[in-house]
Amino acid sequence: MEFAKQEYEFLSEIGLSPETPGCFVNGKWKAHGPTVSSINPVNNQKIATVVEASLEDYEEGMKACSEASKIWMELPAPKRGEVVRQIGDALREKLHHLGRLLSIEMGKILPEGIGEVQEVIDMCDFAVGLSRQLNGSVIPSERPNHMMLETWNPLGVVGVITAFNFPCAVLGWNACIALVCGNCVVWKGAPTTPLITIAITKLVSEVFERNKLPGAIFTSFCGGAEIGQAIAKDPRISLVSFTGSTKVGLMVQQTVHQRFGKCLLELSGNNAIIIMDDADIKLAVRSVLFAAVGTAGQRCTTCRRLLIHESIYQTVLDQLVDVYKQVKIGDPLEKGTLLGPLHTPESRKNFEKGIENIKSQACSIFLHCIGPILGGKILTGGSVIESEGNFVQPTIVEISPTADIVKEELFAPVLYVMKFQTFEEAVKINNSVPQGLSSSIFTRSPENIFKWLGPHGSDTGIVNVNIPTNGAEIGGAFGGEKATGGGREAGRSTAILHPQQNIYAMLYNSQEGSGQGLAMF
C-alpha cells in the first residue's frame, strides 16, 4: 500500500506505512485498540492510519517490560551507555527524515523539527558520558570501625508521557537518562503525533535487537487518556514523567502519589520578558519575536507576557508591531516560513475563544498613576486565516497585568504587553501568575541582573538575562515551579531522580558499640 500523497513516500525509509500498528510490546508490533488518523495541520488531511493500544496490549507490554528490567538493570552502566550511544547514532542517520516527519505531523517549521530530533541525539551523547559518572560516595561514620556508603540503584520501570508540542525531545530528556541508570522505559506518545512515536521506537528497537537485548526494555504505546491513566495507576512503574496541562498533571500526580510512586511534572508556563530602560532594544525586539511566535506559540517556554519600561514603551511597541507584520506565515516545510499552523482545529478554536475573551475584558483602567491603559486592545493580528489548515495571525494585545486572562496560558501566538515604572514592580508582575517556568530580563545593569537572579527576583525555574524565554540547553535541568509542577528534566541533576538512592551502613568489627552512645546487646 502506498501513501496518499507522494510527498509522504519518504516515510517508508523510517519504517512507516500508510496503516501501522501503534504498540511495541514484548519486542513485537501489534495493536487492538481504536483506529485513528495522523493529520497534517497544514491542510487537515490524513497522513497515515494508526491502530492504538488496548488495555490488553498495555498489560502484555508491561508484563514483558517488568521481566526485561531484571536483565537491563544487571548490565553494567557503561555498557548501557554504549547501547544509548548506538541509539543516538541511529537517530543521527535518519535526522532529516525524522525532522521532516515532525514538521509535517506537528506543524512546527522544518529547522525546529530537525532541531528537536537533534536534541534527542545530544541527550544520547550526554547520557553516554553520564553512564560512567553514576558515582556513589563514602560517608564518614560517627561510630568506630563503621563505614557508610551511598550508591544508586535502578528504579525498575520509568513511564514517560509526552505532549504534542515536543513529541520526541521530552522523551529524550527522560529516556536517555533513565536507560543509562538501568531503568526500562514505557513511553506513551501524544495521541495526535503517533507517527513520530512509531518512527522513533522502530529505530530504538532495532538497536536493542542488534545487541541481542529484549525489545521490551523500550516499550511504547500510541493511545489516549485510557493508556495514560493505566500508566499513572500502575505500581510496576516507579516513576512517571508527565508533560502536559496543569489540570491533567495534577490528576496524574494525585494518582501516582496515591500508590506512593514518584512523579516528575512538566506543566504549563506563562512566561514574561522584562525590557528595562537601559536594554538593547534591537536585541530585545528580535528575541521577543522569536520567543512569542516560534512554534506558533505552542512551547511551554513561549513568551506570553511582555513588560516594557514606561520610558521606552512606545518605541519598543512600534518596532515590535512592525516586525510582527513581516512574519511569513505558511507551510512549515517552505524555506523562510517563521509561523506554521496550530496543531489541531481545536487549537484554532481555542485561539478564537481566547481572542473573544480578550475583547470582552477590554476596558479603560487606571494603573499606577501612569494614565489610562486599555485592557484587551489588539494592536496587530487577532484573527484566524481562512484556509484548509489551522493558521492564525500572530497577535499582540495591550492589556492590564491584573486582567484574569493574563493569568491563564493561551497556547497560541498571543503576546500580552504592559508597562511598568520600576524594577520592583516588574518583578512583582512577573511573579504574579500561577505558573513559574521561564522568565527573562533585558538590561545592562549589573545591579538589576543580580537582583533578578537572587531570592527577591524571578520565581521561575529557568531565569534568563538578555536572551529569550524559550529554548534551553540539555546540560541544565529543565523545569519550573508553582503550577508548572516542580519537575526537572535533562541535565546532570536529573540523574538523581531516575535511580533509587541507597545508604549502606556496615560494622566491620563486631566488638564495637552502636551509635548515639548506646551499648550493643
Q: Apex CA 258: angle with CA 481 and CA 436, to 5°?
A: 10
Distances (CA, A) of 30 to 59, 69, 220: 13, 21, 11
Choice among 266, 398, 409, 489 that is catalytic: 266
Query: Which cell goes with 398?
Result: 495591550
Contact (Cβ atoms closer than 8 angstroms) between residue 57 and residue 25: yes
DSSP state of 329: B
Mean pLDDT to the nearest integer, 459-484: 94
| Strand pairing report for 239-243 and 35-40 | unpaired
Quick one: pLDDT at residue 372? Answer: 44
Instruction: Tell me if residue 432 falls in helix, strand or coil.
Output: coil
* Residue 159 backbone phi and psi in degrees, to 5: -100, 135
DSSP state of 506: E
Mean pLDDT to the nearest integer, 84-94: 98
Which of 187-196, 282-291, 359-368 bottoms out in mean pLDDT, i.e. has the lowest?
359-368
- Is pLDDT of 512 > 60? no
Amino acid at site 413 = P
Quick one: pLDDT at residue 219? Answer: 98
Q: Apex CA 457: angle with CA 452 and CA 458, to 5°?
A: 95
Contact (Cβ atoms closer than 8 angstroms) between residue 317 and residue 306: no
| Strand pairing report for 377-380 and 414-420 | unpaired
Band of residue 362 on the pLDDT scale cut at 50, 70, 90: low
Quick one: pLDDT at residue 121? Answer: 98
Contact (Cβ atoms closer than 8 angstroms) between residue 462 and residue 438: yes
Band of residue 375 on the pLDDT scale cut at 50, 70, 90: low
pLDDT tens figures, 45-82: 999 999 999 999 999 999 999 999 999 999 999 999 99
pLDDT tens figures, 116-168: 999 999 999 999 999 999 988 999 999 999 999 998 899 999 999 999 999 99
**506 strand-pairing partners:** 147
Examine the residue annotation and report whether 300 is marked as an active-site residue of this protein: yes
Contact (Cβ atoms closer than 8 angstroms) between residue 240 and residue 159: yes
- Is pLDDT of 517 > 70? no
Choice among 65, 300, 303, 409 that is catalytic: 300
Examine the residue annotation and report whether 266 is marked as an active-site residue of this protein: yes
Quick one: pLDDT at residue 250? Answer: 97
Quick one: pLDDT at residue 516? Answer: 57
Exposure b/e, 393-402, CB count within 10 A at least 16 = b: bbbbbbbbbe
Quick one: pLDDT at residue 371? Answer: 44
Q: Which long-range contacts (CB under 8 A, 24 or more apart) does 125-129 make?
A: 125/85, 125/88, 126/176, 126/474, 126/475, 126/490, 127/81, 127/84, 127/176, 127/177, 127/179, 127/180, 128/81, 128/82, 128/84, 128/85, 128/88, 128/180, 129/81
Q: pLDDT exceeding 90 applies to what percent of the chain?
A: 87
Backbone region of residue 182 per phi and psi (left: phi > 0; alpha: psi in -120 to 50; beta: other values): left
Nearest of 127, 299, 113 to residue 195 by alpha carbon: 113
Cell 543580580 found at: 450
Contact (Cβ atoms closer than 8 angstroms) between residue 324 and residue 396: yes
